[in-house]
Structures are given as C-alpha cells and as structure tokens.
A and B are shown apart, each in its own frame.
Chain A
Amino acid sequence: MTIGSIPLRFKVEIDPDQCMLCGRCVENCSYGVFRKEGDSIRVNSRNCVACHRCSAFCPRDAISIYEKPTDYRSHPVWTREIREAVFNQAKTGKIILAGMGNALPYPIIFDRLVLDACQVTNPSIDPLREPMELRTYLGKKPSSLSLKESADGTVELITKLSPNLQIETPIMVGHMSYGAISLNAQTAIAKAVSRTGTFMGTGEGGLHESLYPYQSNMIVQVASGRFGVDINYLERGAAIEIKIGQGAKPGIGGHLPGEKVCADVSCTRMIPEGSDAISPAPHHDIYSIEDLKQLVRSLKEATEWKKPVFVKIAAVHNTAAIAAGIARSSADAVVIDGFRGGTGAAPRVFRDHVGIPVEAAVASVDAKLRQQGIRNQVSIIASGGIRESADVAKIICLGADAVYIGTSALVAMGCRVCGTCYRGQCAWGIATQKPELTKRLDPEVESVHVENLIHGWTLELAELMGAAGINSIESLRGNRDRLRGYMLDEGLLNVLDVKTVGA
C-alpha cells in the first residue's frame, strides 16, 4: 500500500505582475518554500506553514497564501484533520507532535459571556477624569486585621502581612522558557513587563545572565526537571512558581530536543550541551499533596520566607479540590492553566483532548475556596486562552486575581499562530535558537510592541470597569453579577454561577 502525497495544506502564489524579484521571500522563509531560478521565483507550496513571514516582508504585496487548495470529499465525521492524522501515524507509527494551543473547534465560553454597563440608575465612571485602580496584590491576605486603636486616634497595625507581589495591571506574561523561545524574545518581554509594572515567568529554562537587570519583574519557575534551579536563581526571582502541570498537556512532562540545547541554553539550564532536556511527568519528589507542601515550604525556607510561592496546575476535572489542597500547602497563589494554553510542543492528542476550559476551572476554584473559607489564603492566576482585554475582565469577574498571557504576547512580536513552534524553525525568531533566525527579533523594537499590548489592554480594562461603575479592580473580582451567559446551557450557567442574558 502507498499513501502517496497528501493534499497541500497551503498554496503559495506570486503575482508575476507585482513581483520585482527582490528575493526577500527567499531570504525570509526558513521553511524552504521559495527559490530563485533565473528570472523567476519558484515556489514549493508543500513546505509552507502559513507563518506569513514572506508576505509580511514582500514590498509589493505580490504573495498570496491560500489554505486547503485541494478539497477532500467532505465528511462530517472523517474530517480532513482526522484523516491526515491517520496518514501521518500510518507512516510513522509515532505520537503526533503539535504546537500552540488546542485546535479543536470547542465552543469558547468567553465568547458566550457578556459584560455589564451602567445606564441611568448609577453613573458610569470616566477613567480619563476619575481615578481607576487596577493595582493588584498577589499572595496571601489576612482574613481579618488586628488593630490597636488609641484614644488619640492613632491606629497601629498588629497583623503581620505575608509577602505579596504588587502589579500595576492584572496582566502578566506567562512562563515561556529560554529554549522554547529565543533569548531575544524573552528579553523583549522582560523589558516590556519592567516598563509596565508587571511580571513575567522564566519558564523551566533557568534565568539567563543577560536578564538579571530585569530580575525584580521575574517569576522563576521550578518544574519537574529542575533545570537551571540553584539558590542564585531562586534569590533573583521576585516570586517562585512550582509548575505541576500545563494546560496544553496536562499529566505529561516536557521534552526539549538536544538540537535546541546550544551552548548558551546549556549554561542557563545547567545541563550538558546537546543533551535532551526531559522534564518528567510528575515531580519525582511530589507524589501527594503533603509532598507539595514540603517543596513549597523548602523553597520559602531557602529564600527566608521573603518571596511568594505560586503553584501552577493544568485545569482538569477536579481542579477545584486540588486548588483547595494547594491553598492549604502554604502556597501564595495558584495558577490555573486552561486547556487552550499554548506550548512549544505537545502531543496532539493531549493538546486537543485533555483538560477543561479556564473559565469553568476558575469559576469552580473560586467557589470552592470561598465555600471552605480559604479564598484569602491564595490568589488565583488564570492562564490559557486569554486573547483580549474582554477575556481578562470576564475571568476576573469569574474570580481570578490576575492573568498570564502567552500566545498574545508572542503574536505582538510577530507570531502568526502557525503552530509549528516544535520544529525550531520559527521564521520570526521567536520559537527557535538558530542565530540566523533569532537575530531577526530586535528585543528593543518588540518590547515596545508587547508593552503597547499590555498598555492597550489595561486601558480597555479601565474603560470596561468605568462603564460598569467600578473604580477598583477588587470590586470586579468575583463579581459574577456583572456577567450574563449568552446561549450557554443551564449546567454551565450553574458552574459559572452566572445568569442568562435577559435575567
């Protein structure tokens, strides 16, 4: 049997009337689509991943890219994707790798939730004229305060507060390691978060020396491979995050192929050059919740109880109960990573089929923690599928304190969500370690783009709050009365504790 070649995914066309043979497409495409032959540019469409690097740099808009130029016989069950996965596995007998987040067309809960605004009975607040507070503190909060009030009116605070991270906007950039993305990409994000008063995650790749100037805006990650972890690393971070799981691939570990472990990555991760960096599925010292508690407390002990410790889990069916366990482990925040969360590489079957949406997970975690009276013990950080400022507002209404964005920050730097990150050929210089590609990303220029994105979302969030008559983000948090479900089923409305539109 021979499967033959499968139909093209994309067809690339050059308009000969427009093309001036400048050759920029040939230079820019890292997948080998274009080659110059005499007086024309030849195209091999089969190599195209639709990353748009060529068309973005074509000075004459001569390049067009079409998706799925050849139709399969249509079938509602045997979709194109299913058939191609079968072809692929029939040939290779392997697990199929994929990049970015969940690619199945599940309904998006965010798009079925609508926000509220004031009309007549209470005034909306104009953020241009009135103070609008988005400052957020991440960490444990006391459930009540002990104050000593003297007759002369002075009040003394007796309660001792736990360390909290202060962020000026509830938007942070999530953990994307050096290795998964380039140092230039990390540097751009680092500059952006330090200028916007927020934080970024290092991912499980250590902290490169050149990023030390931005360490006060860094959350350092400790994951199952413990790459790059030593006391120097822990002390440099403003907070420490233990990664248990990831929304794109709950229940499994990670694998950075040896080819990506160049000299610099090797030093930062503290592993031999060229060796595969394998993060095991579980932490081999965490086989139960009490083991997690020991690690949380060990990390705190190592850093003299000066830094908040976060715990990140993938959103799975039992997330609420797991988060309640984490809240009792001395952790200061729990990160809930929904099943739309992106990744450099994940088995397709996990990316598309394991885990639950972050909206439902955050709603149930917030409800469970309140039910048990321990909501003040941990902050909730939501990640995985936050695409715009409206998503931020909605997830905060559902109970989150702050969000991590990942993919949208990459898109701000040029990423076109082609989903080919796992190949290490990223033409935009983001998900690659090849020097000829990474040098395409100018950290200074791209930091401005990421900063603009955070700034723009923050402005929109302030406007949304003002329209809802709210001038402080605390009053948006868990305020599910300001959300309505549009075409959501009753079961989901109950989980989200949101009324339907019109009610």
Chain B
Amino acid sequence: MCGIIGVLDKRRGSVDGAKIKEALSMMNERGSGEGAGYVAYGIYPEYKDYFALHVFFDNIRENKTALDTLLEKWGTIVHDEQIKTYEQPNIRKVHTPWRYFFRPDRSLMPKSTTPDEDIVTHLVMKINAEKNGALIFSSGKNLGVFKAAGWPEDVADFYRIQDYQGYLWLAHNRYPTNTPGWWGGAHPFNLLNWSVVHNGEITSYGTNRRYIESYGYKCTMFTDTEVVAYLVDLLIRKHGLSEKMAVRALAPPFWKDIDRMPVKEQELNRAIRLAYGSALMNGPFAICVANENTLVGFTDRIKLRPLVTGELGDRLYISSEEAAIRRMEPDVDNISMPKAGEPVIGRVIA
C-alpha cells in the first residue's frame, strides 16, 4: 500500500503545505500511521545557495559535535538551528531534527566536475553508514524533507507544515512492511536535489543495490526506496540521461515490444536494456521523483500500483488516488492514468 502525492507549480507559484496535508490524509486507508513525510522545494530562499542538510540526531549532546567537526572539515556551516517542532500526542519524539546550511569547500575535491555535489554525497553516505546517532535525510538546496513515524496529519502538525510555502511538493503516507516504521524509513527519500516517494515494493532491490553500490553509493536506510534516489542521481546527474531516458532505463519496454520497433528505436532500446539491466526496477511500484525543475511520475512495467495525474493551469498533480487530487484542486482538469512504464513529466517554465 502507501499513498503518494506530487504537485508542481510550473511558474513557481507557492503551494500551501496545509492543502498537501489534507490531501495526504484523504489516503489514510493506504497508510498505517507508522510513517508520513513531506518535501517542499523553494522554502529557504534566503539560504538558496547553500546545501540545506536536515539531520535526525539521536541526541544532541553526544552526536552533534562530531557532525559539526566533520562538516567544518569539508566546508563551512553558514547557519544551523533546531527545526521547529510542536509536541503531538501521537508522535513520540525519538529524534531531534536539525537543519544546517552548508557550503562545501570545492578545493577538497579537485578531480571532480561536480565537486560540491560530490562532497555532499560523500558526507551523506559516510554519516549514514556510520550510524553514530546522526542521519542526514535531506541534502538539497532550497528544499527540505519533513518526516516522522505517525499519521500524515500528526506529522504535518508536528512540523507545522502549513507554515512552509513551496512550488513543488512530494508527500507520502506509509504502510511499512519490509522495514520498521522508523523515522529514517519514512518517505520522501532525498539525495542532493533529488527526492523520491514510492508506493510498492522493489523486488529487484538486491540487484539494484549491488549495482548502485559499485558506484560508491551506500544503502543504509533498510528500505528499497532509497535506491531509487541514488539510481536517479546516477543516471541523470552522473550519466547525463534525460528524465525520459532515465525512466526508460528504470522501467524499460518488454523485448516483445522492442522487437516490433523500427530498427533505430530497437537499437536504442536494446542498448538501454544492455547498459542498464541492473538498474531495471522490478516489482510493483508507483513513484514520484523530483528535482528543483522537474516532477516525474511513473509506474512499474505492468502497472501493479495506481497512479493518477491531473492538471489545472500551471499546476501538475500526481497521486495514488484521484480523491487526493480533487481535495487539493476540486476543479482539476485532465484527470488521466498514465500507461505502465510511461513517465509523466512536468517542468518548471520560469
């Protein structure tokens, strides 16, 4: 199960967190009260040039100094503060959420063409693998993930999600199965500017994990969704594929369909399957992936999980349920259900 939402305002108009909360709560039938989360893009305009690191500390006294020291080794902490939270009767506050605005020292990664991103990726992988009471669960610019173990409305109230105004949102209502309902396991998952929410179970996780780990990523959060964020980062940021071609690699056409394509297209699709066979994601899933300019929704190759899209004006809505979209925008146009494996892509215009 699980319910997902993605909303993009193509002209970066702001969408209120309160609406997202209401829509997500519409899908409580799809959750179990053990995990919910939101990511909002465009919420830190005053710090937009710095990486916003959101961290769960097990406890401040023992774990924070070590992280501060490490961050200062690799760059400058421009500002840091506790993320404001508000006690909720149904949420047990097992972590202290913190935010840092961080500027990496790019001279420390001289051989890289994307030194800032590589430093941040390295730090995220290192901190999360070490498990020393600190978990970086959000690391992009001008965006932030807010998540915890609980029902969507409780998690929203815990962070007062209505206080955040973003032009792009992902949200997730979790029914955990394979991994415990812990805070780190709640969606969205994020790396740099990539965020992912996912409904389903990736049966190819073992293959995908071995593939992505041979490129230096480390899967540390005991859940299959994490791997999607890393695959997208690898295919789009490092290998330079477009969103469309990246989705083609992750949920490619069947051979029986490829065999019927014109020769050129056959060659292209065969090459994608040969090169990215280990990135192919199997099993039932509906996924929304976003970065600062794009929102992409897609499903597995035989669409074993629902995905509905709608539009109104500059806004693109993607969700597991039409009801959730209608809650956000009662007058929505163009409700449609994308075909298996076919991406729905929305881009920022301005």
Residues of A that sit less than 8 Å from B by CB: 118, 120-123, 125, 130-131, 133, 135, 137, 141-145, 147, 149, 155-157, 159, 161, 164, 370-371, 373, 375-376, 397, 468-472, 474-482
Contacts and interface: CB of A to CB of B under 8 A. Distances in A.
B282 A145 contact: no
Contacts of B301: 471-472
B284 interface: yes
Q: Which 5 A/B pairs are nearest by Cβ-Cβ distance?
A: A481-B206, A475-B204, A474-B277, A475-B282, A479-B206
Nearest to B257: A131
Contacts of B276: 145
Contacts of A145: 239, 241, 271-272, 275-276
A472 B206 contact: no
Contacts of A481: 205-206, 209
B76 interface: no
A85 to B, nearest CB: 44
Interface in B209-259: 209-211, 213-215, 238-239, 241-242, 244-245, 254-256
Nearest to B210: A478
Nearest to A153: B244
Contacts of B211: 370, 478
Contacts of B275: 141-145, 159, 376
Given A145-B272, A161-B274, A471-B302, 15 more contacts: A121-B201, A123-B284, A142-B274, A143-B275, A144-B275, A147-B245, A149-B242, A156-B268, A373-B214, A474-B280, A475-B280, A475-B283, A477-B207, A479-B204, A479-B205
Nearest to A143: B275
B283 A122 contact: yes
A121 B176 CA distance: 10
Contact of B207 (A122, A161, A476): A476
A152 to B, nearest CB: 13
Contact of B274 (A147, A164, A470): A164
A121 B177 contact: yes
Contacts of A376: 275
A135 B245 contact: no
A159 B271 contact: yes
Contact of B214 (A122, A123, A371, A397): A371
A469 B268 contact: no
Given A122-B201, A131-B254, A149-B242, A474 B210 contact: no
Given A149-B242, A475-B203, A481-B206, A470 B271 contact: no
A125 B241 contact: no
Contacts of B69: none
Given A142-B274, A147-B241, A474 B207 contact: yes
Contacts of A397: 206
Nearest to B213: A370
Given A477-B277, A481-B205, A472 B282 contact: yes
Interface residues of B, number: 44
7 contacts: A125-B302, A143-B275, A145-B271, A147-B242, A472-B280, A474-B273, A479-B207
A121 B264 CA distance: 39
B9 to A, nearest CB: 24
Given A125-B302, A469-B283, A470-B283, A137 B278 contact: no
B83 interface: no
Contact of B206 (A161, A370, A482): A482
Contacts of A470: 203-204, 282-283
A118 B203 CA distance: 9
B178 interface: yes
B267 interface: yes
A145 B275 CA distance: 7
A141 B274 contact: yes
Residue from B204, B213, B215, B283 with most neighbouring chain A CB atoms (10 Å): B204
A130 B273 CA distance: 19
A131 B256 contact: yes
Nearest to B301: A471
A397 B244 CA distance: 29
A117 to B, nearest CB: 10
A470 B203 CA distance: 6
Contacts of A143: 275
Contacts of B178: 121
B274 A122 contact: no
B148 to A, nearest CB: 22
A386 to B, nearest CB: 21
Contacts of B210: 370, 478, 480
Residue from B264, B270, B274 with most neighbouring chain A CB atoms (10 Å): B274
B200 interface: yes
Given A122-B203, A123-B284, A375 B255 contact: no
